[in-house]
Amino acid sequence: MACLLEAPLRISVLSEVTATSRHYVDRLFHPDPQKVLQGVIDMKNAVIGNNKQKANLIVLGAVPRLLYLLQQGLSSSELKTEVLGSELRTEVLGSELRTEGVVVLGSELRTECVVLLGSELRTEGAVVLRTECVVVLGSLAMGTENNIKSLVDCHIIPALLQGLVCPDLIFIEACLRCLRTVFISPVTPVQLLYTDPTVIPHLMSLLSRSPRTQDYITQIFSHCCKTPEHQTVLFNHGAIQNIAPMLISLSYKVRMQALKCFSVLAYENTQVSMTLVNVLVDGDLLSQVFVRMLQRDLPIEMQLTAAKCLTYMCRAGAIRTDDRCIVLKTLPCLVRMCSKERLLEERVEGAETLAYLMEPDVELQRIASVTDHLVAMLADYFKYPSSVSAITDIKRLDHDLKHAHELRQAAFKLYASLGSNDEDIRKKITETENMMDRIVSGLSESSIKVRLAAVRCLHSLSRSVQQLRTSFHDHAVWKPLMKLLQNAPDEVLVMASSTLCNLLLEFSPSKEPILESGVVELLCSLTQSDSPALRVNGIWALMNMAFQADQKVKGEIVRALGTEQLFRLLSDPDTNVLMKTLGLLRNLLSTRPHIDQIMSSHGKQIMQAVTLILEGEHSIEVKEQTLCILANIADGNTAKELIMTNDDILQKIKYYMGHSNAKLQLAATFCISNLIWNEEGSEADAMTGCQERQDKLRELGFVDILHKLTQALDPNLCERAKTAMQHYLA
Amino acid sequence: MDAMAELGAGSLLLGDPAFNYQEAELNERLKRLYPAVNEDETPLPRSWSPKDKYSYIGLSQNNLRVHYKGHGKNHKDAASVRATHPIPAACGIYYFEVKIVSKGLDFLSSLLPLSPIPGWDKHSYGYHGDDGHSFCSSGTGQPYGPTFTTGDVIGCCVNLINNTCFYTKNGISLGVAFTDLPPNLYPTVGLQTPGEIVDANFGQQPFVFDIEDYMSEWRAKIHGMIARFPIGERLGEWQAVLQNMVSTYLVHHGYCATATAFARATETLIQEDQTSIKNRQRIQKLVLAGRVGEAIEATQQLYPGLLEHNPNLLFMLKCRQFVEMVNGTDSEVRCFSVRSPKSQDSYPGSPSLSPRHGATNPNLHSAGADSPTCSNGVTPPNKNKSHNKYPGVSSASSSSSSSPSSVNYSESNSTDSTKSQPHSGTSNQEETSDSEMEIEAEHYTNGVAENPSARIMNGTYKHQEILQAQDISLEDSCASRQLCGGNQAATERMIQFGRELQGLNEQLCREYGKNVTHKKMLQDAFSLLAYSDPWNCPVGQQLDPMQRENICSALNSAILESQNLPKQPPLMLALGQATECVQLMARVRSGSCSFARVDNFLH
């Protein structure tokens, strides 16, 4: 067999292969079909709960032979044999029960026995043999991941899928159970379910056959629905209509699997969510069915999964955020999932789902922040592994350690979501015991998931002016943040740089130390990133940095960024980048000496860029920002001349003064107003310059326009025009 | 003074039908929320108390609305009012809500323990609207929840199981506010600002917060705790106790054959000998069939001296006999009727009630068939089916003897296998009666619960036989439901018997002094004669065959007692104890009792 000697592990196993294992495989090749059947049955009894035996048989090539027998049976009725006596069956059952003494996988054994009892009534040899083959294969799949790999390599999936066309229910159930076991393993490529387009519709049609087919098929769907494309395929084949009735099945298992399936289908999927919200199950809306599943005396798994379904439907816009079923049911349920009484896994899932639910809605954030002391409850997420567990119980310590990262990142995510809008909540969070310290240490944790969540949390809190001024400064969060920025994946970088933007706001006391740490180079390099988000953040931070900065900082920014990069950013396809770059320019061109200095060295390029933008197809906001830059330039002493001598620009200003948009009119008028400004008490030569400019502008017809604008409806515009006129007269 | 006026207004409204409707709705909701509360012992809070309030507080709207009418200048002007009653522990979980109708500089304190003098501001627990702080027996608060204002609905939930409390705001739980709460807390509100008005909801309206969902979680918790209660190494002992309970129960009620089979299967001993069991069974059957005269006769014959030593019991029996004579069922009057006397089966539909097998036929199995439960008409159709079903499994299950029913069957199967078909049919019936016994147990508790004196009634009679008896009496004498079966001679005998009974009463009075119960009993019985249709008269209830059960079990208990056997089966004793225990828990303020109701565990 080709798959035999793949891994060194196999070789070592091979050496231990006993003669008995060999014997089981040999019997599958016997000429007498009945002997073969008995061989398969014996093999089944031998492998149940015995991982070593499973590995042995796989190594010895049982799988291809079993698949061959399976397919043979499907194509011919050659192997038809007589009825199996019930005595034989009883004996088999007996021996099987005896194997319980071996390494037992309890549930596996039970399901296998159930199958056995089910198949008791079967009479046709061929079907019996095929079923037994599948049962053995299913048993092999219940072993290790390596077993699954071997099975998948032997093309078990297409063979089993093909078997589903057989009319025999017991056989179909055996195939589905085996497929389920294979597909829920992380080593199986889910794509294998979608390669044959007839598979999904056929599975849908099998859903009505029995509670078992429902259980297995929905499990397969839940595990194989990983992308929006998968969701669409399942949706298009009527998954919702087919699975919805299962939500009121008598079997808890079936209800639970159907619920899980819906949670996977609805996740970030508007189409599915919008359809779900209108589905009726036994006269009740699906959302009501889900709400009933949130009842507190039901198993936690069901409450949690139902809450997920409602959350996803809400996030997709299918349920309003102020709906009672969200505010009074889903949200409190998710908060309960975060409580200390729940298992660590449930607490992680609960917190993550809750964070996702309320992310865009400040009202939900406010409600959650007062529900059951959630903010304080989350502080407990950081106490794993607890000091107690380390001493008393090694097993518990291991369990705690495994979940510690997950718990921390979930808590950070939830804090980030809670604090993303409301100032009071942010205050509450930062006042939670050791919260800032926890974030700071979270920023340098080894787990990238925790780092990312911590920086998200920090970002959320950094939107608070008060926190920036107090706790952020007290805990010097900029230090780990800067460190994080040195070497991190893009995801983290986006969040970290965005946080940095806030830390660089002029009122932030962290601004000074960050500047001194040589952040400019780093930010400039961000502006060269391929990711638009990083480019925006880089330039945004620079913009904030330049705001009311001194000459030295501004000079450093211009030097580090370079005019070439600056102009590249001015033609960036991302409007956000363009806007922030214009913002940076505007901040650089403030206060007269700075304006004159920058314009004297880069005037030509800047004027060029401004012209280009004003001529290009840009939004009102971009043009407004550009006109504001012109207005700043017009405020300079020497820089003014760059406009006055540029008739093209003057024509453009004139055009925008007559634009239909008041904002653009105002910005353009501002510009002209600065040009005709006569500084009181300034030198005579400046006065003359002023006179000249006024004359030239009059010639160009600006006075008439200003006149008209004094009658404008917009009071700001009107006021600005009047002031400008006054300067004219002065 | 104000309180008086408002109290007056409240009582004025009592006649209002709308108010009565509201009251009924409130009662229903409270019953549903707090089923374990015995309101005779511990009434639930239903309104604010006009007596226990500061004078600055005004009450209106059936004492549910509170408004402030003081100066509100400083903290000294704060005033509060508490509910009419403290929260009973049997609530398990108690909840009430307050709606802020009009806000001032608010202050809502919501729980107070009972204190000898109404020094209300000590030992109080509260949640204040102006700062969102919680206050616990002191003037300094702890940050707790959000602030609240006009339009908000504030709820307070007291968990009497773990003695904690949490508040809700507009249906959202704010988390635990206090732990280690003392017992006997009163719902309370306090106000401090002129114009401030709040409305209470003690169950008058549906609550904004889903308290029933919260309760369901605790119910599940407590039930889980009980279900997982460790039995540990005493597992074997446990089983022996259970077997003993079943066995004594069967013996007590005279299910002789079943008891024997059960004892054989479980290898336990029956204390009483079989003849005694059968005798008791026969007497019980006579009483239940309304043939009290024969029952008295049999008792006197089998247990000489018993009735003589129990004159009260004898009197009760005689009274019943009189009633049965009116009914036309007692043999003393039946012998006059067109129908043949004793030898004929009185209820053709239920052979088991006939005494003919009991004494004469030594076959245990047919005696088993006599057992009252077997009269149920549903058994025969099942017979064949179950008979076919068992042999397949019997070989497998015979080795492991954990399941009493199947073992019981295989045992009797093996002994009866050589016998004739009817016998194995009978043993099948035993099979059924076994399972019915469980159902019976359930009815029993109902009886116990309804009747605090713990008198035992066999519910089976109520639900099966008596109904059947009624059906039959309707069927065979719909027109002839007349006094003493409509027979003149019988009526005369009855009158005569009445005189004798009167004489007996007088004799008893002379010997033991006046007995009010006897007098009432006699009066009631004689009253039947005053109506043309005794079955449809104010005292006609006595003729209901169900009334035979009390006297039947009293007689049975007396016989057992005379034999130095327990007069109650341990199973019933255990049930009664469990029920009593739960009630006791309520009295000693253990809140979990509300979710540990005995009937929740009887399926």
What would the mean pLDDT of A671-684 be, rounded to a whole number?
67
Query: For chain A, what is the mean pLDDT?
Result: 83
- Give tens-digit pLDDT for B51-79: 888 888 889 988 999 888 877 666 666 77
What would the mean pLDDT of B140-167 be, rounded to a whole number?
89
Question: Would the pLDDT of B406 be above 70?
Answer: no
More confident residue, B456 or B214: B214
Question: Would the pLDDT of A19 be above 50?
Answer: yes
- Give tens-digit pLDDT for A129-158: 889 999 999 999 998 899 999 999 999 999
Q: State the pLDDT at residue A5.
A: 41
Give the closest-approach CA distance of A326 to chain B in angstroms: 12
Which of A327, A371, A377 is facing B173, going by the closest CB pair?
A371
- Give tens-digit pLDDT for B208-226: 999 999 999 999 998 888 8
Which of B146, B210, B219 is facing A328, going by the closest CB pair?
B210
Please give the Cα distance from B157 to A366 (Å, whole number): 22
Q: State the pLDDT at residue B235.
A: 63
**What's the number of CA atoms in the CB half-sphere (13 Å) around residue B466?**
17
What would the mean pLDDT of A630-656 be, rounded to a whole number?
82
Share above pLDDT 70 across residues of chain B, in percent, rounded to a whole number: 66
Question: Would the pLDDT of B174 be above 90?
Answer: yes
Asked if A313 and A330 count as a contact pair (C-beta separation under 8 A), the reply is: no
Q: State the pLDDT at residue A729.
A: 62
A-to-B residue pairs, Cβ atoms closer than 8 angstroms: 38
Instruction: Name chain A contacts of B222, Cβ cutoff 8 Å.
Output: none
- Residues across chain A: 730
The counts of H helices and E strands in chain A are 47, 2
Interface test with A, best of B173, B214, B222, B393 (most A CBs within 10 A): B173
Please give the Cα distance from A158 to A335 (Å, whole number): 44
The band of B472, judged by pLDDT with boundaries at 50, 70 and 90, is very low
Interface test with B, best of A325, A369, A370, A431 (most B CBs within 10 A): A370
Interface predicted TM-score (ipTM): 0.75
Q: State the pLDDT at residue A74.
A: 58
Taking CA atoms, what residue in A is nearest to B219? A297
Asked if A417 and A457 count as a contact pair (C-beta separation under 8 A), the reply is: no
B14: Cβ–Cβ under 8 A, 6 or more apart, which residues? B20
Q: State the pLDDT at residue B183.
A: 81
Which of A296, A328, A374 is facing B214, going by the closest CB pair?
A296
Q: Which of the given ranges, A209-213, A619-623, A652-656, B478-482, has the highest pLDDT on average?
A: A209-213
The band of A211, judged by pLDDT with boundaries at 50, 70 and 90, is very high
Q: With an 8 Å Cβ cutoff, are B176 and A371 in contact?
A: no
Taking CA atoms, what residue in A is nearest to B145? A370
Lowest mean pLDDT among A579-583, B12-16, B26-30, B86-90: B12-16
The band of A112, judged by pLDDT with boundaries at 50, 70 and 90, is very low
Question: Would the pLDDT of B443 be above 80?
Answer: no
Encoded tokens for B451: 């009747």
What would the mean pLDDT of A672-688 be, rounded to a whole number?
63
Question: Would the pLDDT of A502 be above 50?
Answer: yes
Please give the Cα distance from A591 to B230 (Å, whole number): 82
Lowest mean pLDDT among A369-383, B286-300, B388-402: B388-402
Query: For chain B, what is the mean pLDDT?
Result: 71
DSSP-derived 3-state class of residue A182:
helix
What would the mean pLDDT of B22-49 be, rounded to a whole number?
88
Q: State the pLDDT at residue B322.
A: 87
DSSP-derived 3-state class of residue A372:
helix
The band of B234, judged by pLDDT with boundaries at 50, 70 and 90, is low
Asked if B375 and B469 count as a contact pair (C-beta separation under 8 A), the reply is: no
A81 residue type, one letter? T
Question: Would the pLDDT of B105 be above 80?
Answer: no
Q: State the pLDDT at residue A230.
A: 96
DSSP string, A258-297: HHHHHHHHHTT-HHHHHHHTT-EETTEEHHHHHHHTT-TT
- Give tens-digit pLDDT for B249-304: 888 888 888 888 888 888 877 777 778 888 888 888 888 888 888 888 888 888 88
- Give tens-digit pLDDT for B478-529: 445 677 776 777 888 888 888 888 888 888 888 888 888 888 888 888 888 8
The band of B475, judged by pLDDT with boundaries at 50, 70 and 90, is very low
Question: Would the pLDDT of A451 be above 50?
Answer: yes
DSSP string, B464-527: IIHHHHHHHHHHHHSTT--GGGG-HHHHHHHHHHHHHHHHHHHHHHHHH---HHHHHHHHHHHH
Q: State the pLDDT at residue B168.
A: 94
More confident residue, A173 or A490: A173
Asked if B68 and B57 count as a contact pair (C-beta separation under 8 A), the reply is: yes
Which of B145, B172, B219 is facing A297, going by the closest CB pair?
B219
Please give the Cα distance from A524 to B48 (Å, whole number): 71
**What burial letters (b/e) apply to A563-581, b meaning 16+ CB within 10 Å?**
eeebbebbebeeeebbbbb
Q: State the pLDDT at residue B318.
A: 87
Instruction: Name chain A contacts of B210, Cβ cutoff 8 Å.
Output: 328-329
Q: State the pLDDT at residue B391.
A: 39
Q: State the pLDDT at residue A124.
A: 56
Q: With an 8 Å Cβ cutoff, are B173 and A296 in contact?
A: no
Taking CA atoms, what residue in B is nearest to A374? B175
Q: State the pLDDT at residue A138.
A: 93
Question: Would the pLDDT of B97 be above 80?
Answer: yes
Please give the Cα distance from A680 to B455 (Å, whole number): 111
B524 residue type, one letter? D
Checking phi first, is residue B294 left (phi over 0); if not, alpha (psi -120 to 50) or beta? alpha
For the entire predicted model, the pTM comes to 0.71
Nearest to A415 by CA among A353, A478, A331, A355: A355
The band of B369, judged by pLDDT with boundaries at 50, 70 and 90, is very low
Please give the Cα distance from A241 to A344 (Å, whole number): 34
Residues of chain B contacting A, Cβ within 8 Å: 145-146, 166, 169, 171-176, 210, 213-214, 216-217, 219-220
The band of B127, judged by pLDDT with boundaries at 50, 70 and 90, is confident
Interface test with B, best of A86, A371, A378, A429 (most B CBs within 10 A): A371
- Residues forming a β-bridge with B158: B94, B165
Taking CA atoms, what residue in B is nearest to A291? B213
Taking CA atoms, what residue in A is nearest to B144? A373
Phi, psi of A510 (to 5 degrees): -80, -10
Interface test with B, best of A97, A325, A326, A328 (most B CBs within 10 A): A328
The band of A253, judged by pLDDT with boundaries at 50, 70 and 90, is very high
Q: State the pLDDT at residue B361.
A: 37
B251: Cβ–Cβ under 8 A, 6 or more apart, which residues? B259, B270, B271, B272, B277, B569
Please give the Cα distance from B271 to B260 (Å, whole number): 11
Please give the Cα distance from A264 to B400 (Å, whole number): 47
More confident residue, A248 or B184: A248
Question: Would the pLDDT of A96 be above 60?
Answer: no
Which of B166, B172, B219 is facing A367, going by the closest CB pair?
B172
Q: With an 8 Å Cβ cutoff, are B174 and A297 in contact?
A: no
Which of A296, A297, A373 is facing B175, going by the closest CB pair?
A373
Taking CA atoms, what residue in A is nearest to B210? A328
Nearest to B437 by CA among B272, B239, B602, B275: B602
The band of A274, judged by pLDDT with boundaries at 50, 70 and 90, is very high
